[in-house]
């Protein structure tokens, strides 16, 4: 804690030291004090767009957005007062009414919670129910603050879904205009493919002068999908194929290149159904490229080779691993005896792990006796 209360903020009656430049939200999160957010994207400058993170600051004329307000010495902040809760409920109510958010918050009419759940599970068979039901930040906050969204009539859907893209479905009716996707694209990935377009109630996220993503500068890294807190941006292959609560997650390392990006495999019935970047660890902190995020269909491809093939004349035939390995070893030996070890070259793959590449290096130099080793990014 700073001397004489310097750089000390009071949150909910307790003093916390802060670094100059830190926002109220950052100090609170560092000390495990929960302040809900929607538009805030870690690593990008705050926009203060959604107002869900408002807090009461003693002496301030109005509620302050904690994500955009710097902490100040002696500042006394309250994060969950009745006034704060009322403001959040109002914001959530308006958001739920801003589009198509039929995530059962609208009709929590069943007195019995189990009956309500069953009703929702039945409705989930319909495409009308939001595809991210159960994995939506807006829905989560609506439950938390018990916002029923009955106060306002929902806004009309102005724009059709965009289904033309190879990996991403854009559903403008579910967009809450928080701007996280724009920041993810422009500030985090620096692709500058999307931005706000049109005005007022017609506001939408546009790409290349309101064209489909596939006709824009979008590289389909999917950073926007991961940043979207609602169901406005979803992976095409996952949509309506799997429900979030039916999957388990396994943390692993991407095998497409040597960067070592950390990702979470979402698995249902023994199959990988979705991939997301791991947000809490280096080196990628949630970001992935198009291959890492969407290129997982090879895992369960029926075309995948699972048995070694050896060439007999002009034909390839299935063989055992022992036979295949013997054939390779005999071939290498013959070449080395006839032409010397430098007649052999080894191409590694950027898609295998560093450890596997290291072992291949050992095989080339120590076993085969050649320094002719390189890698090819496409292998
Ligand atoms: Fe602070 Fe949206 S999270 S205004």
C-alpha 37 – ligand 1 centre gap (Å): 5
Q: Residue 197 has which token pair?
A: 């377009």
Question: Quick one: pLDDT at residue 378?
Answer: 55
Q: What is the value of pTM for the model shown?
A: 0.83
Inside any domain, residue 94: no
Domain assignment present for 170:
yes
Strand partners, 56: 78
**Ligand 1 geometric centre to CA of 51 (Å):** 5
| 210/352 same-domain check | no
Q: What is the CATH number of the domain that holds 127?
A: 3.30.70.20
pLDDT of residue 133: 83
Phi/psi region, residue 68 (left: phi>0; alpha: psi -120 to 50; beta: rest), is: alpha
Pair 232, 290 in one domain: yes
288 lines ligand 1 (CB under 6 A): no
Q: Are residues 170 and 290 in the same domain?
A: yes
Q: Report whether residue 266 contacts ligand 1, using a CB cutoff of 6 Å.
A: no
Which parts of the chain sit beneath pLDDT 50?
A: 123-125, 379
Residues 55 and 131 in one domain: no
Are 367 and 291 in the same domain? no
Measured in degrees and rounded to the nearest 5, phi and psi for residue 170 equal -105, 120
- Å from CA of 68 to ligand 1 middle: 7
Tell me which DSSP letter residue 141 carries.
H
Of 281, 300, 319, the residue at which a domain comes to its end is: 300
pLDDT at res. 190:
96
Number of structural domains (the chain) is 3
Centroid of ligand 1 to alpha carbon of 190 (angstroms): 22
Q: Cβ(50) to ligand 1 under 6 A?
A: yes
| 268 and 164 within one domain | yes
Same domain, 245 and 216: yes
Residue 248's pLDDT is what?
A: 96
Question: Domain boundary residue among 45, 80, 115?
Answer: 80
Ligand 1: atom nearest CA of 46 is: 1
Q: 181 and 264: one domain?
A: yes
2 found inside a domain: no
Phi, psi of 315, deg, nearest 5:
-115, 145
- 22 & 143 share domain: no
Ligand 1 neighbourhood includes 92 CB (under 6 angstroms): no
Q: Is the CB of 65 under 6 A from ligand 1?
A: yes
Quote the ligand 1 centre to 204 CA distance (angstroms): 19
Residue whose C-alpha is closest to residue 17's, from 34, 5, 32 = 5
> Among 160, 164, 163, 197, which Cα is nearest to 182's?
197
Is the same domain home to 247 and 132?
yes
The alpha carbon of 66 and the centre of ligand 1 are apart by a number of angstroms equal to 7
Mutate which of 68, 77, 181 for ligand 1? The one with the most ligand atoms within 8 Å of its CB, which is: 68
* Final residue belonging to a domain, choices 80, 108, 123: 80
Residue 346: domain span: 309-375
**Both 328 and 244 in a single domain?**
no
pLDDT at 124: 44
Residue 93 lies in a domain: no
Asked if the structure places residue 129 within a domain, the reply is yes
> Does 141 sit in the ligand 1 pocket, CB within 6 Å?
no
- Choose the residue to mutate in 29, 34, 45, 53 for probing ligand 1, maximizing ligand atoms within 8 Å of C-beta: 53
The answer to whether residues 240 and 167 belong to one domain is yes
Say which CATH number the domain at 29 has.
3.10.20.740
CA separation for the pair 134, 137 (Å, rounded): 9
Q: Is 38 in the pocket of ligand 1 (CB under 6 A)?
A: yes
* pLDDT given at position 5: 65
């Amino acid at each position: 804690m700073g001397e004489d209360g310097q750089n000390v903020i009071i949150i909910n009656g307790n003093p916390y030291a802060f670094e100059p430049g830190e926002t109220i939200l950052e100090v609170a999160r560092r000390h495990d004090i929960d302040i809900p957010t929607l538009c805030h994207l870690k690593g990008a400058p705050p926009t203060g767009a959604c107002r869900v993170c408002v807090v009461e600051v003693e002496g301030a004329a109005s509620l302050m957005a904690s994500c955009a307000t710097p902490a100040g010495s002696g500042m006394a902040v309250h994060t969950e007062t009745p006034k704060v809760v009322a403001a959040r409920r109002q914001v959530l109510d308006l958001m739920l009414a801003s589009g198509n958010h039929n995530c059962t918050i609208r009709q929590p009419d069943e007195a019995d919670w189990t009956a309500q759940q069953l009703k929702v599970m039945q409705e989930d068979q319909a495409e009308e129910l939001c595809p991210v039901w159960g994995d939506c930040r807006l829905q989560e906050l609506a439950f938390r603050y018990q916002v029923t969204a009955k106060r306002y009539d929902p806004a009309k859907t102005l724009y059709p879904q965009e289904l033309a893209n190879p990996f991403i479905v854009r559903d403008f009716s579910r967009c809450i205009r928080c701007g996280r996707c724009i920041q993810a694209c422009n500030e985090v990935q620096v692709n500058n493919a999307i931005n706000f377009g049109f005005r007022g109630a017609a506001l939408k996220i546009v790409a290349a002068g309101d064209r489909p993503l596939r006709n824009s500068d979008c590289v389909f890294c999917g950073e926007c999908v991961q940043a979207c807190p609602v169901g406005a941006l979803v992976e095409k292959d996952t949509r309506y194929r799997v429900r979030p609560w039916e999957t388990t997650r396994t943390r692993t390392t991407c095998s497409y290149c040597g960067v070592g990006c950390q990702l979470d495999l979402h698995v249902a019935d023994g199959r990988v159904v979705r991939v997301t970047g791991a947000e809490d660890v280096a080196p990628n902190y949630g970001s992935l490229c198009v291959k890492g995020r969407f290129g997982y269909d090879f895992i369960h491809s029926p075309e995948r080779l699972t048995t070694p093939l050896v060439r007999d004349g002009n034909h390839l035939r299935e063989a055992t691993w022992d036979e295949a390995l013997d054939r390779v070893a005999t071939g290498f030996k013959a070449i080395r005896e006839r032409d010397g070890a430098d007649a052999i070259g080894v191409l590694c793959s950027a898609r295998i792990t560093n450890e596997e590449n290291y072992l291949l290096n050992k095989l080339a130099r120590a076993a085969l006796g050649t320094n002719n080793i390189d890698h090819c990014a496409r292998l």
